[in-house]
Structure 1
C-alpha cells in the first residue's frame, strides 16, 4: 500500500458493512448514501471520516459527491455499491425486472459514468444471476465495459473468509486501469482442506453474556476474555458493555415450543398440538430451518432482516430465546464497536441487509494487491 490516501464511496451503504471492510483494509471511506434514516445514524456513528447523504439514489448527483468529498472526477479509487436486493432475492417469489428496485443498478452506473472511479465493486444476492435469464448480469457487464471498465463477477461464500454463516453474494469487480481482476482466495474450509477451520457459531458468540427470553434494559458486561481470533477481532476497540444485546420477547407458546427443540432440531421436534396451525399440514421434509436451534459447532443459516424463529434457525444453541441483534451482528462479522441505531426491528434489518465486513475486507485486499503488484513490476522494468 502506498502512503497516498485511498478513497472509497459507498452507495446503498446501509449500516456500512462493506465500508467497514474497506476501512479495515486501509481505505478512507469519504461518503456513504442510503435512504434508510436509522441505518444512516449507525453509519455516521461508525464512519466518522465519511459524509453520510440521506437521500434516494436518484437525488444524489456527481456534483454533490465531488463537493462533499473534495474529489475531482477520476480521483476516486473505489465506488462501492449494493443496490437493494429484494427484487432479485430467491426469498421474493414475485421477483422480476418489472420490480422498480431491479433498475436501481442503473443509478449506480450513472454515478460510475460521472465520477470515473478507478475501481468499481458491486455486490448483490445470487438471485441476480438467474432473473430474466441472466440478462441483468450481462447488462451490468456490458454497460460497465461501455464506460471503459473490464469487469468480472463471481459468487463468494462468506464462510470461506472466516464469517460464521452460510451466505452467498455475487460480487462484481472492475477497473479502468488495465489491472488484473482477481477474487479473494478462500482462507477457511472444512477439515482436511489445508485451510483454517470454519468459524463456528460458538466461536462467534460463545463469550457473550447469557440472556433470558425478553430480557432487555440490561447493562450486559463481558464476563469472559476472548478465547479465539474471531472474538478478539469482534471486541477490538469495544468498551466494557455489550451493545444491542437484548432478547426479543417471544410468546408463551413459543417458549413452550422451544423447550422441545434440541440442538440442531427444528419444528419437527415440536409436539403436534403445539405446532402453529399452518404447519400442522406441512410435510416433514419442508421448512427445514423453521424453529431451528443453532448448532454451536456449525455454521449459521443466512441472517435475514428479521431473526424470527418462525422463519429460520435463530434459536440460541443453549438458551430458550431468539438471538439478539448483537449475536446476529457477530454472525455477520460486525465488530462489537458498532452500535445499531433505531428500533430493534430496524436494527435487525440493518444487520441482515449488510455485507459481512470480513468479506468486504478480503475484496478490498485483492484490489490493493493488484495495484501493488503492478507498481512493483513497473519499478523493476525501470
Structure 2
C-alpha cells in the first residue's frame, strides 16, 4: 500500500467526477483543457488503460459508490460528468431502453418527487434490461450531493448518450431548471442537443445526445458552435468524393472547415514522433487510398455491408471496429485479402492521442465504448469556460504524456487497493493446470 501522502498527491485538486468513465474519453479531454478529473469504472480492463495513462480512477460500481462510498469522492469535485452505458438505448443494442423511455421518465420524476428510493430500486429491478436504470445515476448522484451535509451541489453537469436518450435529457433539463422537490430549490441553466461528431473535428460519423447544466450566474447556455461541415453521404452520387466538395481550410477567419477524413487523421498521427501508427500498409501508389467495409448492422449479409472511402470520415467506431475490413483496391476486395485497423489506429479515429497506452483485454471494446476526446473537449470547454478549446489545446491533444510506472502502480493502489471493494469477480485469475507428474 502507498502512504497517505501519495494518495493525497494524486487526488489533490480534482474538479471533475466522471461516472462510467471507460478508458477515459472525457478525462483525456479534461486533461488537455487543464482540469483534473477522477473516474469511476467497473470494467477492470478499462481501469488498466486508465492507470497506464495516469488517470485517477476508482474501480467500482457507480451505484455502490453512491450508496456506501460517497465520502471517498474528493470534496473539490464540483463538476459531474458521464455517459451511462448505452447498449439498451442504442440502435445496435436490444432496444429495451428505447421501449422503456416513458417508464424511465416516470422514474426521473419519482426520484425528484422524493418517493422512497428502496421502492424505486425494487421497481427498477423489474426492467427488462437492468442497464436501462443506469441512465438515472447522474440524477441520483446530484440528489445525493444535495442531501449530504458538507457537500455543495455540483456547479456543472455534463452528460452524453446515444440520440435515443435525448428525451430523457430533456426531462432532466426541465427538472433542473425548476429546482423543485428533492432538488430543494437548487436550480440550473440547462440545455440539451444532438451533436454530430464530425462537425467538431472527429474523423467519424457519430451522433450523441448531450446535456449541459450549470448553476445560474454565468448566463444562458448557448448551443455549441460547430467547427466543421456535416458529412452527408449521397450513396447514389459517389463518383466525386466529398473530400473534393468543400475547402480544407475555412473560407473566412472563423469559418467552418471540411470534416476530417480517415486518411487525414491517420496520416497526421503516423507523422508524429515515435508514433505506433504505421500507415505504410494502407498506401497505394504512394498515397493513402483505401476503403472500409463494415459488418456493423449487416446481420451477416455481405450485401448490407456499408463502405467508406479513405477520403471520408469513418463509420461510428464501436466495440466491433476490429471486424471492419480495409481494402486498397477492388482486386483485394474480390480476393478478400484485407487489412484491419490496429487498436492505436482505431483510437485515432476516436481522437485519442496516437500514443495512448491501451492496456488490459478487450481493447477494441474499450475504444468503441469511449467518448471521442475531441468532442469532449468542445463540450467541457463550452460548459466550463463558455468558449471552444483553443487551437493550441487541440494540437496538444494529439500526443499523450508519458506516465511513469510508479504512477501507474500508485493509481492502481488507489483504484483497487486490496481489491476487496472492487466489483465481485473482477480480479479473478485463471490458473493454468499443472502438468501431470511423469
Q: Judge same fold: TM > 0.5, yes or no.
A: yes
Q: 1:341 maps to what in 2? A: 359
Using the alignment, how far apart are the partners of 1:279 and 1:79 within structure 2?
Answer: 42
Q: Per the alignment, do residues 207 and 26 of structure 1 end up closer, same or farther by CA in structure 2, a change over 3 Å counting?
A: closer
**Match 1:137 to one of 169, 174, 183:** 169
**Match 2:35 to one of 27, 31, 35:** 27
Aligned-pair CA distance for 1:10: 0.4
Q: 1:109 maps to what in 2? A: 139
Contact residue 327 and residue 338 of structure 2 kept, 8 A: yes
Corresponding position: 1:315 with 2:326: yes
Contact residue 296 and residue 317 of structure 1 kept, 8 A: no
Contact residue 21 and residue 361 of structure 1 kept, 8 A: yes
Q: Per the alignment, do residues 62 and 6 of structure 1 end up closer, same or farther by CA in structure 2, a change over 3 Å counting?
A: same
1:196-275 paired onto structure 2 within 5 Å: 196-206=257-267, 225-226=271-272, 240=274, 242=276, 263-264=290-291, 266=293
Structure number, greater radius of gyration: 2
Q: Per the alignment, do residues 126 and 101 of structure 1 end up closer, same or farther by CA in structure 2, a change over 3 Å counting?
A: same
1:29-68 paired onto structure 2 within 5 Å: 29=37, 31-48=38-55, 50=56, 52-61=57-66, 64-68=69-73
1:272-283 paired onto structure 2 within 5 Å: 279=301
Q: Per the alignment, do residues 40 and 244 of structure 1 end up closer, same or farther by CA in structure 2, a change over 3 Å counting?
A: farther
Alignment TM-score, normalising by the size of structure 2:
0.60
Q: Per the alignment, do residues 144 and 316 of structure 1 end up closer, same or farther by CA in structure 2, a change over 3 Å counting?
A: farther
Q: 1:216 maps to what in 2? A: none
Q: Per the alignment, do residues 158 and 177 of structure 1 end up closer, same or farther by CA in structure 2, a change over 3 Å counting?
A: same
**Match 1:128 to one of 155, 165, 178:** 165
Corresponding position: 1:83 with 2:84: yes
Structure 1: unaligned runs, 5 residues or longer:
209-221, 227-234, 248-261, 269-275, 373-382
Q: Per the alignment, do residues 151 and 265 of structure 1 end up closer, same or farther by CA in structure 2, a change over 3 Å counting?
A: closer
Aligned-pair CA distance for 1:114: 2.6
3-state secondary structure, aligned to 2:321: coil
3-state secondary structure, aligned to 2:58: strand
Corresponding position: 1:118 with 2:155: yes
Q: 1:211 maps to what in 2? A: none
Q: 1:305 maps to what in 2? A: 319
**Match 1:182 to one of 199, 203, 222:** 222
Using the alignment, how far apart are the partners of 1:334 and 1:35 within structure 2?
Answer: 21
Contact residue 42 and residue 60 of structure 2 kept, 8 A: yes
Alignment TM-score, normalising by the size of structure 1:
0.68
**Match 2:381 to one of 358, 365, 369:** 365
Structure 2: unaligned runs, 5 residues or longer:
1-12, 101-126, 146-152, 231-245, 282-288, 330-336, 389-438
| Count of paired positions | 295
Using the alignment, how far apart are the partners of 1:153 and 1:267 within structure 2?
Answer: 31
Instruction: Give the RMSD, CA atoms, in angstroms.
Output: 3.3
**Match 2:368 to one of 345, 352, 355:** 352
1:97-120 CA deviation, whole Å, 9 max, x = no partner?
232211112222111123311000
